[in-house]
Chain A
Amino acid sequence: MGAIEGLSHLTLHVTDLTRSEDFYGGILGLDPVGRDLVSEDGPNSLFRSAAGHLVLLVEVPGPVEPFRGKTTSIHHAWYLTPEQHAAAVARLKAMGMPIGDTREAMRAMGQKSFDVYDPDGHRYQIQTVGPEAYQILKPSAGEIDCGNIADYEVGDVRSFNDGKLYLVRSENGFAALSRWCTHMNGLVQWKENHWHFYCPYHKATFNRAGASTSHFPFDTLAPLRLHPLAIAKDGSIRVDTDVLLIRKKAEALDVVPATPGAATDTSRYEAI
């Protein structure tokens, strides 16, 4: 159809208009537009967000049905600037409202979200994303001792938490992959049973070379970034977490041969 400009408004049934006006104006912080400006069956009240989206509250005899049948996952999400989000957190905390994030471990760096419920049980996510979500992060943990080449078998993937990295032993050698997803700064996890790295934030996946194996729209993501590694004469492996190597695609030369004296050729990459 292509004629839709965007969302105009979300109509919500409520059982006590005044009580809900207090919530949407005083707690959510929307701007009141006015009462009974819309042709509805009951008393109604309009509120506006910064971007112009409207919320239309319509009082009904009740009860209202925030969730259809047994479907409890229905929710509406608000997007806030980081400043608005900080103000909302302070405002709701001062009111004694719980603002915990049950999925905090799945968020990317800088992404914040909590749920609130209006007086009739309508569920809202209050979300923001700060600039740190897109910054390239370095662990800056210095050089990390990752053991000896003799300690690894082909196929091993080991996590080093201080360095936010995975060391991958493939047939051709070693690669130190940064765990920060190249979409946003979620931390990828190695899923041994699926043979891939997985970002719990947006479900992007990467193979053991760090190349994206995601479906649209993450199929074009850049590969996971590398840390340079060096193998000493005694076979010990050291990874430099102070340097990140950016690559446009995963290549065979990204892997350092499992031989004493081998090291990452950093000249092949943009180094940060």
Chain B
Amino acid sequence: MSEEMIMTTGMHSLNHTAMPVHDMAAAEAFYCDVLGATAHQATCFSLEDVKTGAAIFKSFVIGDFLLALTVARNSMDMPPPDRFRGAHGYRHGFQVSRARFDEIRAALDAHRVPYQGPVAHPEKGPFGASLYFKDPSGNFLEFVWRRDEDALPRNRSYLSPE
């Protein structure tokens, strides 16, 4: 990252997304076992929510990003099973190195996670190829290797604003 870029941009980094899942246990198994996330703080917001199992918040760190998941059990329709490349308005793309892209694909196969791809991107852009898939609650996700990966920091860690 050049000093010039740091001076001109108005935002440092994307830090986290708060988004819903249908089942926290299934989400934790997916994000930790398949994506290698680490689970962090968990909170129930009120006694009534605890009783009903709703509004539970749990956070997961994936590299330099945090997903803050909440339970919304019955209020989200699932996307069609054969749709992988959508976005409920948004989709998270996680970077893997080109050298480990096949390893990532094999891991999805091993965990029986259906996906679309690899989809190649134009050579004039920073993306090489992507795999598109979903978490158990139908949130759209993506693995991508980047043509500019040598210019990006390695072993990035989550920068907490807290």
Binding site for B on A (CB under 8 A): 1-13, 28-31, 33-34, 36-39, 41, 46, 48-56, 58, 64-71, 73-81, 84, 87-88, 91, 111, 120-122, 127-129, 184, 201-203, 215-218
Q: Who on chain A is nearest to B67 by CB?
A: A7
Contact of A122 among B90, B94, B107 (CB under 8 A): B90
Q: Who on chain A is nearest to B142 by CB?
A: A11
How does the 8 Å CB contact mask read for B12-27 relative to A, with 1 for contact and 0 for none?
Answer: 1111111110000000
10 tightest A-B CB contacts, nearest first: A29-B10, A37-B125, A6-B63, A51-B13, A6-B64, A8-B95, A7-B65, A70-B75, A1-B36, A79-B15
Asked if A37 and B94 sit within 8 Å, CB to CB, the answer is: no
A79: chain B residues within 8 A (beta carbon): 11-15, 159, 161
Q: Who on chain A is nearest to B70 by CB?
A: A73
Q: How far is the CA of A23 from the CA of B114 in the complex (A)?
A: 35
A11: chain B residues within 8 A (beta carbon): 87, 90-93, 142
Most buried by B among A52, A78, A203: A52
Main secondary structure of the interface of B (DSSP, over half): mixed
Q: Who on chain B is nearest to A7 by CB?
A: B65
Q: How far is the CA of A120 from the CA of B88 in the complex (A)?
A: 12
B146: chain A residues within 8 A (beta carbon): 8
Asked if B51 CB lies within 8 Å of chain A CBs, one says no
A4: chain B residues within 8 A (beta carbon): 35-36, 62-63, 94-96, 104, 143
Q: Who on chain A is nearest to B85 by CB?
A: A41
Asked if B40 and A217 sit within 8 Å, CB to CB, the answer is: yes
Contact of A34 among B94, B96, B125, B143 (CB under 8 A): B125
Q: How far is the CA of A55 from the CA of B92 in the complex (A)?
A: 10
B161 to chain A, nearest CB (A): 5
Asked if B89 and A67 sit within 8 Å, CB to CB, the answer is: yes
B108 to chain A, nearest CB (A): 9
Asked if A76 and B14 sit within 8 Å, CB to CB, the answer is: yes
Asked if B75 and A65 sit within 8 Å, CB to CB, the answer is: no
B87: chain A residues within 8 A (beta carbon): 11-13, 58
Asked if B104 and A77 sit within 8 Å, CB to CB, the answer is: no
A1 to chain B, nearest CB (A): 4
Asked if A39 and B121 sit within 8 Å, CB to CB, the answer is: yes
Task: Kindly list 8 other residue pairs between chains A and B, CB separation below 8 angstroms, not including A46-B126, A121-B89.
Answer: A4-B62, A6-B95, A9-B93, A13-B87, A49-B11, A50-B5, A69-B72, A111-B161
Asked if A84 and B12 sit within 8 Å, CB to CB, the answer is: yes
Asked if B48 CB lies within 8 Å of chain A CBs, one says no
Q: Given that A7-B64, A12-B89, A52-B152 are known contacts, is A202 also in contact with B76, CB under 8 Å in the complex?
A: no
Asked if B10 and A30 sit within 8 Å, CB to CB, the answer is: yes
Give 21 A-B contacts (CB < 8 Å), ordered by A residue: A1-B36, A3-B97, A5-B154, A5-B156, A7-B94, A12-B89, A13-B90, A30-B11, A31-B8, A31-B9, A51-B159, A53-B13, A67-B89, A68-B88, A70-B72, A71-B72, A79-B161, A122-B89, A122-B90, A215-B42, A216-B41
B95 to chain A, nearest CB (A): 4
Asked if B122 and A37 sit within 8 Å, CB to CB, the answer is: yes
A137 to chain B, nearest CB (A): 17
For window 112-159 of chain B, which residues contact chain A by CB distance below 8 Å?
119-122, 124-127, 130, 138, 142-144, 146, 149, 152-156, 159
A10: chain B residues within 8 A (beta carbon): 14, 17, 90-93
Asked if B103 CB lies within 8 Å of chain A CBs, one says yes
Asked if A36 and B11 sit within 8 Å, CB to CB, the answer is: no
Q: How far is the CA of A127 from the CA of B159 in the complex (A)?
A: 12
